[in-house]
Amino acid sequence: MNTTSKESATTSRIPPHWFWRTYPAYELDAVRCLELTCLLGTFSTTIPIWRDALIGEPAAAVAVALPMKLPSVITYPVDARMSVLLNAAVLGSDTCAIVLSNMLNRMPIERYLRERLAASWFECSKRVRAGGRNRIHARRFPTISPRCTGQENHS
C-alpha cells in the first residue's frame, strides 16, 4: 500500500534548473540528466552561442556562463547559465567541470554544500584527465559519465 500522496511526492522534487546547486557529480543519475536535458530543450533562442550551449557544446557553455557577474542571490538567469554549464560537464567536458567547480566555489550557497559540490566537479575533471579520455558524449541520450561516478571501464 502506498501511503505517499502524489501531491507530496511532486512538491518535494528538486527542479532541474537547481541541479547544479543541489547534486554533486556522483549523484547525477540518468533520470536527472534526462530531466536537465528536457528542461534545456524547452528553451528557445536565436542567439547562436546560446543554441550551441543548450545542446552541450563545451566552448559555448563556458562562453555563456563565465562572463556572468557573481550574484549576491541566485536568480533564474543564473540557474539557466549554470545549467548549460552543468549539462556540458555531464556530457563529458572536463573543461566545463573545472569551470563549474570554480564558479560553484564563489556562489552564494551555504558553505558546506558549495565546497562539496565544487570538490565533486573538480574530482570529476581530474578523473577525465587522468584517464586520458576527453571526448564529449554529445548528442547521445544523456547519462552521467561513468568516469565521474568512479565506475570507469579500463578495457
CA distance 44 to 35: 17
Q: Which of 15, 52, 25, 51 is nearest to 118 (CA)?
A: 25
The list of the chain residues with pLDDT below 70 reads 1-12, 127-155
pLDDT digits (tens, 9 = 90+) for 111-130: 999 999 999 999 988 765 55
Q: Which domain holds residue 58?
A: 25-133
Cell (9 digits) for 50? 546560446
Residue 64 lies in a domain: yes
Residue 12 lies in a domain: no
Residue 62 lies in a domain: yes
Residue 50 lies in a domain: yes
Residue 150 lies in a domain: no
Residue 145 lies in a domain: no
**What letter does residue 25 receive in the DSSP assignment?**
G
Residue 112 lies in a domain: yes
Neighbour tally for 118: CB within 10 Å: 20
Cβ partners under 8 Å of residue 109, min gap 6? 21, 74, 117
pTM of the model: 0.77
Cβ partners under 8 Å of residue 9, min gap 6? none
pLDDT for the residue 155: 41
pLDDT for the residue 125: 81
Residue 10 lies in a domain: no
Q: How far is CA 126 from CA 25, 43, 110, in A?
A: 12, 31, 24
pLDDT for the residue 126: 76
Number of domain units in the chain: 1
